Amino acid sequence: MEQIAEKQEARRGTSPQSTPVRMSGAQILWEVLEREGVEVVFGYPGGAIMPVYDALPASPIHHVLVRHEQGAAHMADGYARASGKVGVCVATSGPGATNLVTGIATAMLDSVPLVCITGQVSSTLLGSDAFQEIDITGITLPITKHNYLVTRAEDLAHSIREAFEVARSGRPGPVLVDITKDAQQATVPFRWSDEPVRLPGVRPARRLTHEQIERAASLINQAKRPLIFCGHGVIKAGASELLLRFAEKTGIPVASTLLGLGAFPASHELSLGMMGMHGEAWVNHAVQESDLLVAVGMRFDDRVTGNLKNYATAARKIHLEVDPAEVNKNVKADVAMLGDLGRSLERLLPAVAQREHQDWRARIRALREDSASRDVQGIPHQGRLRAPHVLHDLWRLTRGEALVVTDVGQHQMWEAQYYRHERPRSLLTSGGLGTMGFALPAAIGARFARPDEEIWVVVGDGGFQMTACELITCAQEGIKLNVALINNGYLGMVRQWQEFFYGGRYVATPLKSPDFVKLAEAHGLTAMRVTTREQVASAVDAARKAPGTAVIEFCVEGEEAVYPMVPANADLHAMIRRPSRIEESIHEP
């Protein structure tokens, strides 16, 4: 990674070209990527993208060779989430391009800015079913903000610059640029221009009216049982500090979505934690008792609301959102405040009154005392090591200061419950699509964005095996990651549903796995196995001291369930709770 900085420094300070220079389409691509500030791309070569790779050595941009194109998309995603910049991945045509699709969809549902570059057969062969020809722009049309098919080298620079502007503006998202092989090879005059790309309609043009501000402030000032909902949009907008000021002035407690964790400090007295299907029970009860919901940068998806017919029926709703398509889609807003979240909060702050809401906060504390010990802390110590112990101890041992990248499943929910995030972009996870296999490659991407930060991958035995091929990428790049592999011998979340709703018939969920320690060691990595809670601290310490990527296999209780749980289509307060007979403290014995 030091080489990346050296290459970039050597090229910094170049002025715009005064006269055109003849360059191939492939050379233009790398030139434009560099001028867009790209430092690293993740990709896999192939026939239709060969001219681009042939031009790569002349560029200061660092290329990470992945082992599967899905990993390239997730690495670009992790880089984008960790840095706030646009992530870039590259693949060839046909199967190379289609292998990106899951990663592109993951980014789309979580509003992550990517530019995905694919090679395509020559323009003269389009529509002929040529070798590895596939209509990737058609395939990705529903899962990108926009996509381009570039058939002329003359159009390449503008298309790439537009792609970056579309990806990062408004509500961010992925953009695909498909480039025919002859467009990559053709040599044309090229001159860089610093003129900004202007795309009408990409950025929200709406301005808040004085009436909207007054109406929202009036509802906030009159509310007796208000809540603030904090979503991923707060992090995307860089509005965490403004949200903190808003909450402290109004005295309103703050609940978070899964992707919103870290946007509001977990240790703050107004922080409630996560709401929704596996959210804290007291938070869900508070939502149902509230008389006002101030939703900031979240979209009221089904994992948050449960049954919409009985969702917070007594509450008025104020919705601050950058994307007009999300307003009134699932929950009708009494006041919709469209536009940049930071500017909306800035306009709203002077209009709201200083409040404390002591009675309401006391009511929430009473709800919390009932459910905290039962659902979250009620994990027995006897018997096998349990995943919640691991996640709680990991939070304690890292002092909550690590960047955590989780996969999808039970461990993802336990991490959200037991690891307390104090700052934005300290938790990276797949929320909307729920993509197993996300964590390891996303953490690799995050490492290039934050080279000096402690990073922990939290992944289950099922998800780990989906992208374990990227372990060799860790070794190849010499990067430092710590992997907490939670091995319960099942596809845990599916097994939990089978236990609760399908009569305990565990069909296709018991999981036979390889020896994970030997697998990691075969890649030249440090690896160890933990079977008791007493071993957790020493293993974490050893992993942190290891020179490269270290894998800890935590062999945990197989039939542990995530509590509480809101069944599908059930009311938010109709949660399945942990059986009270096993109430014990989560903390160390």
User: Do 180 and 299 sit in the same domain of this protein?
Assistant: no
User: Do 412 and 515 sit in the same domain of this protein?
Assistant: yes
Among the listed residues 108, 493, 565, 575, the single catalytic one is 493
**Burial class (CB within 10 angstroms; exposed 0-12, middle 13-18, buried 19+) of 383:** exposed
pLDDT confidence of residue 445: 99
Higher pLDDT, 349 or 378: 349
Would residue 91 count as lying in a domain? yes
Instruction: Give bridge partners of residue 404 from the DSSP assignment.
Output: 427, 456
The total number of structural domains in the chain stands at 3
Residue 132 annotated in active site: yes
User: In 404-535, which residue ranges form alpha helices assigned H by DSSP?
Assistant: 410-418, 439-449, 461-466, 471-477, 492-501, 516-522
pLDDT confidence of residue 588: 42
Among the listed residues 131, 241, 269, 534, the single catalytic one is 131
Residue-wise pLDDT tens digits, 389-440 = 999 999 999 999 999 999 999 999 999 999 999 999 999 999 999 999 999 9
Asked if 23 and 188 count as a contact pair (C-beta separation under 8 A), the reply is yes
Backbone angles phi, psi at 555, to 5 degrees: -85, 105
User: In 279-400, which residue ranges form alpha helices assigned H by DSSP?
Assistant: 281-289, 302-305, 341-348, 358-371, 387-398
Strand ranges, E, within 66-195: 87-91, 114-120, 146-150, 174-180, 187-190
User: Do 427 and 515 sit in the same domain of this protein?
Assistant: yes
**Which of the four pLDDT bands, split at 50, 70 and 90, describes residue 584?**
very low
Would residue 566 count as lying in a domain? no
Residue 70 annotated in active site: no
Would residue 346 count as lying in a domain? yes
User: Do 425 and 516 sit in the same domain of this protein?
Assistant: yes
Among the listed residues 31, 34, 69, 415, the single catalytic one is 69
Whole-number percent of the chain with pLDDT over 90: 89
pLDDT at 12 over 50: no
Asked if 107 and 89 count as a contact pair (C-beta separation under 8 A), the reply is no
Task: Give the pLDDT mean for 472-489.
Answer: 99
Would residue 179 count as lying in a domain? yes
Whole-number Å distance between alpha carbons of 343 and 216: 15
Task: Give the pLDDT mean for 568-578.
Answer: 93
**Which of the four pLDDT bands, split at 50, 70 and 90, describes residue 578?**
confident
What is the torsional sign of CA 439, 84, 178, 67?
negative
- The SS3 of residue 402 is coil
User: Do 478 and 419 sit in the same domain of this protein?
Assistant: yes
Whole-number Å distance between alpha carbons of 413 and 403: 16
| Helix (H) or strand (E) segment spanning residue 536 | helix 536-545
Which range is least confidently modeled, 42-56, 335-349, 353-367, 381-395?
381-395
Q: Can you spell out the DSSP letters for 551-586?
A: EEEEE--TT---SSB--TT--TT--B---GGG---S
Pick the last residue of a domain from 140, 160, 190: 190
User: Do 431 and 546 sit in the same domain of this protein?
Assistant: yes
pLDDT confidence of residue 200: 75
Task: Give the pLDDT mean for 92-106.
Answer: 99
Higher pLDDT, 228 or 193: 228
Residue-wise pLDDT tens digits, 114-145 = 999 999 999 999 999 999 999 999 999 999 99
Would residue 534 count as lying in a domain? yes
Q: At what angle do helices 410-418 and 492-501 cross, to 10 degrees?
A: 100
pLDDT averaged over every residue in the chain: 94
Among the listed residues 85, 145, 181, 317, the single catalytic one is 181
Task: Give the pLDDT mean for 183-202.
Answer: 89
Pick the last residue of a domain from 307, 334, 365: 365
- Residue 28 tokens, joined: 């233009």
Total H helices, total E strands in the chain: 24, 20
| Helix (H) or strand (E) segment spanning residue 483 | strand 482-487
Whole-number Å distance between alpha carbons of 400 and 381: 23
Would residue 200 count as lying in a domain? no
User: Do 408 and 463 sit in the same domain of this protein?
Assistant: yes
Among the listed residues 7, 36, 132, 454, the single catalytic one is 132
Residue 181 annotated in active site: yes
- The SS3 of residue 481 is coil
Amino acid of residue 292? L
Which range is least confidently modeled, 299-303, 441-445, 480-484?
299-303
CATH number of residue 223's parent domain = 3.40.50.1220
Q: What is the pTM of this model?
A: 0.95
**Which of the four pLDDT bands, split at 50, 70 and 90, describes residue 385?**
very high
Higher pLDDT, 201 or 28: 28
Backbone angles phi, psi at 438, to 5 degrees: -70, -40
Instruction: Give bridge partners of residue 228 from the DSSP assignment.
Output: 254, 294
- Residue 352 tokens, joined: 């709201």
Asked if 118 and 136 count as a contact pair (C-beta separation under 8 A), the reply is yes
Instruction: Give bridge partners of residue 482 from the DSSP assignment.
Output: 456, 550
pLDDT at 202 over 70: no
User: Do 130 and 268 sit in the same domain of this protein?
Assistant: no
SS3 per residue for 22-64: EEEHHHHHHHHHHHCCCCEEEECCCHHHHHHHHHHHHCCCEEE
- Residue 549 tokens, joined: 């990527």
User: Do 127 and 163 sit in the same domain of this protein?
Assistant: yes
pLDDT at 514 over 60: yes
Whole-number Å distance between alpha carbons of 34 and 55: 13
Whole-number Å distance between alpha carbons of 588 and 393: 8
User: Do 144 and 254 sit in the same domain of this protein?
Assistant: no
Asked if 348 and 245 count as a contact pair (C-beta separation under 8 A), the reply is no
User: Do 221 and 158 sit in the same domain of this protein?
Assistant: no
pLDDT confidence of residue 582: 47
Task: Give the pLDDT mean for 161-176.
Answer: 97
- Residue 484 tokens, joined: 């907490």
Asked if 234 and 243 count as a contact pair (C-beta separation under 8 A), the reply is yes
Task: Judge if the upstream peptide bond of residue 564 is cis by omega within 30 degrees of 0.
Answer: yes
pLDDT confidence of residue 5: 56
Residue 480 annotated in active site: no
Domain range for 112 is 2-190
pLDDT confidence of residue 587: 43
Q: Can you spell out the DSSP letters for 220-253?
A: HHH-SSEEEEE-HHHHHTT-HHHHHHHHHHHT--
pLDDT at 379 over 90: no
pLDDT confidence of residue 517: 99
SS3 per residue for 66-80: CCCHHHHHHHHHHHH
User: Do 139 and 103 sit in the same domain of this protein?
Assistant: yes
Would residue 234 count as lying in a domain? yes
pLDDT confidence of residue 207: 76
| Helix (H) or strand (E) segment spanning residue 587 | none
- The SS3 of residue 100 is coil
Residue-wise pLDDT tens digits, 534-561 = 999 999 999 999 999 999 999 999 999 9
Residue 348: which of 245, 270, 255 has the closest Cα?
A: 245
CATH number of residue 413's parent domain = 3.40.50.970
Asked if 484 and 555 count as a contact pair (C-beta separation under 8 A), the reply is no
pLDDT confidence of residue 380: 65
Would residue 286 count as lying in a domain? yes
Whole-number Å distance between alpha carbons of 334 and 19: 56
Residue 545 annotated in active site: no
| Helix (H) or strand (E) segment spanning residue 219 | helix 210-222
